[in-house]
């Protein structure tokens, strides 16, 4: 599996704008009313937030309409407020969860995620009749388009549009977006193999035997192609109305809504697409008649508006703005707000990486895992209300995840100093020095002090090195970075480990994503073997087993805490929930309640 173009920085930027630090204990607003809600410390967070169930659906599952949420009402106008407008409206240039989430309203693809019930999803055919027909061990994938699917002007969506939509991703002006399908069809540096369709040349690896059939021929087997095609980056663009760079400002809708007005960075209004047929769409409910989106609102202002719940704000929600840190305790303790509180752990992986080029003794790495001050870091980060202890490489939302605790972090969240000392005594250096790089922010400064003091109890000297947040990834992604440990993160492109292990343990190079510099031949061979497994369920099981093997035998990192996002919405907004895969509120189930 080749490396992809999106860094974890993009994921973290989206998470941070929504959640901030969530570590403030002060209540800067009005006093809480009503009896106190149960605190997260009184609840088993692992049980409360079970990982989502994701499977591949059948042709029958691919039929519309979408499964409606309880109490659904059609009609009305719903309002959405957030901080930022969307950087790209061309689906081929979208590679972030917030932008992809918005595109549910205007863009369809070959496949997509169907919500079955809360926390259960199926990958189904969106424009296609099913999730794809695989042959040749996973090298060949065939899709058949549904009858009657149309663009907003009433013209049919054809296999030629599908082929064109993939071919245009090779063009020079498409510099964002995913690269999986392009690389699978050609090579890792795919833009050297093909310049796009605008000069008249077609891509050999895609066939269109008729207007409704498209066949992809990959160089190697890819059993999870149905998941890849569900990414908005592979959304369909009409061949006849592709305006290249200009398409990013004026896209043509295949979804349930049409953009009627857009004032950049201010507002956007959507109205119904008369040529969208709910009978063909198993994913999008499209219950409101209109959408009014406004941008430019910070977390504190959004939170206070939802707490007040006045006037038109009752019909308002937010895609990604989390409760402001200043209001966390107020919201948790106000019983009257609990019916409008949404909470969901992040689906992204966060780690404290070891630099294996420098920290070469596995016993030292394992000793640090045993001694790690998990509980102290959790309290500094906001407590059990806003974080969950994680002990694995895979996030629980990723298919194949297996729950294990190799170093007893849940049993000894305060750290097991005696076990750490025991391992250090067996190591090459019983009193090692660790150069620890950290983001120079107030919260990270406090966390670093906790780490330094805790590891000192085991005889480990931590030399803390503050680093500029703006150049963090530039510095830590250098192979010769001068650090022994540092934080890093990664988000799976779909809930499968194929987009995790081959990336974060991929090529070791400057600017790459293998920040631990793991280059173990046994692990590399395991990854190649699993990538060749045609059965998705078998592959996912193998990835989960590899997760445990890596931590027990190589130990390239310390698993970091998993953030828990918390959001509010207006009292007349129905069907709102945080999607456990994308970590944003999906528009597919939103509706406006009757007053």
pLDDT tens, the chain, 595 aa long: 222 233 333 333 333 322 222 222 222 222 222 223 333 333 454 555 677 888 999 999 999 999 999 999 999 999 999 999 999 999 999 988 999 999 999 999 999 999 999 999 999 999 999 999 999 989 999 999 999 999 999 999 999 999 999 999 999 999 888 999 999 999 988 999 999 999 999 999 999 999 999 999 999 989 889 999 999 999 999 999 999 999 999 999 999 999 999 999 999 999 999 999 999 999 999 999 999 999 999 999 999 999 999 999 999 999 999 998 788 889 999 999 999 999 998 999 999 999 999 999 999 999 999 999 999 999 888 788 888 999 999 998 888 899 999 999 999 999 999 999 999 999 999 999 999 999 998 889 999 999 999 999 999 999 999 998 878 888 999 999 999 999 998 888 888 888 899 989 988 988 888 999 999 999 999 999 998 887 888 998 999 999 999 999 999 999 999 989 999 999 999 999 999 989 999 999 999 998 8
Asked if the structure places residue 245 within a domain, the reply is: no
pLDDT of residue 5: 31
Asked if the structure places residue 523 within a domain, the reply is: yes
Pull the structure tokens for residue 422.
């025991």
Asked if the structure places residue 343 within a domain, the reply is: no
Residue 438: CA count within 13 A, CB half-sphere? 21
What distance in Å separates the CA atoms of residue 98 and residue 108, rounded to the nearest whole number? 16
Determine phi and psi for 453, rounding to 5 degrees. Answer: -65, -40
Asked if the structure places residue 521 within a domain, the reply is: yes
Asked if the structure places residue 197 within a domain, the reply is: no
What distance in Å separates the CA atoms of residue 475 and residue 33, rounded to the nearest whole number? 47
pLDDT of residue 206: 98
Using alpha carbons, select from 552, 505, 495, 516 the residue that is nearest to residue 51: 495
Pull the structure tokens for residue 166.
């993939």
What distance in Å separates the CA atoms of residue 497 and residue 412, rounded to the nearest whole number? 28
Inter-residue contact 142 to 109 (CB < 8 Å) = no
Residues β-bridged to residue 354: 485
Q: How many domains does the chain have?
A: 1
Residue 103: how many CB atoms within 10 A of its CB?
23
User: Where is 294: in which H helix or E strand?
Assistant: strand 290-295
pLDDT of residue 202: 96
User: Where is 326: in which H helix or E strand?
Assistant: none
pLDDT of residue 47: 52
pLDDT of residue 390: 93
Residue 24: how many CB atoms within 10 A of its CB?
15
This prediction's pTM: 0.82
Kindly report the CATH number assigned to the domain that includes residue 440.
3.10.105.10
pLDDT of residue 39: 38
pLDDT of residue 17: 29
Name 113's Cβ contacts closer than 8 Å, sequence gap at least 6. 54, 121, 122, 123, 124, 230, 283, 581
Residues β-bridged to residue 559: 351
Asked if the structure places residue 63 within a domain, the reply is: no
Name 418's Cβ contacts closer than 8 Å, sequence gap at least 6. none
Total residues found in the chain within this entry: 595
What distance in Å separates the CA atoms of residue 122 and residue 399, rounded to the nearest whole number? 12
Residues β-bridged to residue 156: 150
What distance in Å separates the CA atoms of residue 348 and residue 25, rounded to the nearest whole number? 25
pLDDT of residue 175: 87
Asked if the structure places residue 438 within a domain, the reply is: yes
- Determine the structural domain holding residue 371 and report its residue range: 349-563
Pull the structure tokens for residue 588.
């597919």
Asked if the structure places residue 211 within a domain, the reply is: no
């Amino acid at each position: 599996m080749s490396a992809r173009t999106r860094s974890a920085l993009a994921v973290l930027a989206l998470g941070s704008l929504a959640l901030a630090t969530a570590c403030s204990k002060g209540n800067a607003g009005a006093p809480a009313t009503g009896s106190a809600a149960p605190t997260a410390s009184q609840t088993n967070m692992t049980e409360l937030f079970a990982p989502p169930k994701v499977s591949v659906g059948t042709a029958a599952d691919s039929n519309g309409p979408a499964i409606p949420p309880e109490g659904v009402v059609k009609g009305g106008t719903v309002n959405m407020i957030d901080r930022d407008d969307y950087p790209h409206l061309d689906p081929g240039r979208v590679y972030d969860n917030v932008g992809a989430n918005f595109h549910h309203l205007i863009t369809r693809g070959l496949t997509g995620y169907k919500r079955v019930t809360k926390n259960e999803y199926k990958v189904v055919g969106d424009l296609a009749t099913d999730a794809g027909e695989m042959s040749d061990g996973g090298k060949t994938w065939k899709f058949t388009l549904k009858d009657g699917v149309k663009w907003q002007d009433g013209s049919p969506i054809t296999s030629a549009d599908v082929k064109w939509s993939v071919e245009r991703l090779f063009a020079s002006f498409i510099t964002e977006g995913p690269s999986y399908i392009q690389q699978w069809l050609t090579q890792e540096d795919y833009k050297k193999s093909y310049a796009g369709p605008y000069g008249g040349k077609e891509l050999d690896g895609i066939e269109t035997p008729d207007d409704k059939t498209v066949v992809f021929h990959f160089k190697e087997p890819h059993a999870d192609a149905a998941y890849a095609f569900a990414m908005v980056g592979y959304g369909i663009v009409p061949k006849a109305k592709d305006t290249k760079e200009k398409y990013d400002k004026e896209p043509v809708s295949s979804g349930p809504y049409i953009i009627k007005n857009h004032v950049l960075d201010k507002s956007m209004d959507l109205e119904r697409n008369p040529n969208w047929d709910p009978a063909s769409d198993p994913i999008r409910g499209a219950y409101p008649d209109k959408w009014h989106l406004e941008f430019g609102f910070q977390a504190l202002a959004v939170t206070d508006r939802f707490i007040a719940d006045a006037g038109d704000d009752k019909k308002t929600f937010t895609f990604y703005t989390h409760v402001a840190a200043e209001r966390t305790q107020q919201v948790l303790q106000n019983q009257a707000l609990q019916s409008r509180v949404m909470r969901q752990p992040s689906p992204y992986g966060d780690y404290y990486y070891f630099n294996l080029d420098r920290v070469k003794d596995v016993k030292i790495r394992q000793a640090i895992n045993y001694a790690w001050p998990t509980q102290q870091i959790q309290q500094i980060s906001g407590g059990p209300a806003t974080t969950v202890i994680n002990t694995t490489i895979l996030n629980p939302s990723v298919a194949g995840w297996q729950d294990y605790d190799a170093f007893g972090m849940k049993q000894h969240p305060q750290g097991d100093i005696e076990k750490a000392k025991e391992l250090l005594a067996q190591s090459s250096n019983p009193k090692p020095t660790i150069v620890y790089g950290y983001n120079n922010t107030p919260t990270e400064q406090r966390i670093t002090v906790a780490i330094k003091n805790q590891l000192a109890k085991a005889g480990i000297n931590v030399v803390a090195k503050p680093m500029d947040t703006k150049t963090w990834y530039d510095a830590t992604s250098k192979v010769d970075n001068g650090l022994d440990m540092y934080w890093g993160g990664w988000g799976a492109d779909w809930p499968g480990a194929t987009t995790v292990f081959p990336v974060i343990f991929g090529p070791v190079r400057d600017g790459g994503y293998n920040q631990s510099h793991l280059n173990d031949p046994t692990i590399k061979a395991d990854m190649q073997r699993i990538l060749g497994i045609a059965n998705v369920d078998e592959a996912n099981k193998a990835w989960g087993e590899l997760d445990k093997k890596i931590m027990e035998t190589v130990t390239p990192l310390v698993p970091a805490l998993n953030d828990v996002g918390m959001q509010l919405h207006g009292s007349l907004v129905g069907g709102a929930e945080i999607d456990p895969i994308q970590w944003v509120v999906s528009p597919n189930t939103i509706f406006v309640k009757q007053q």
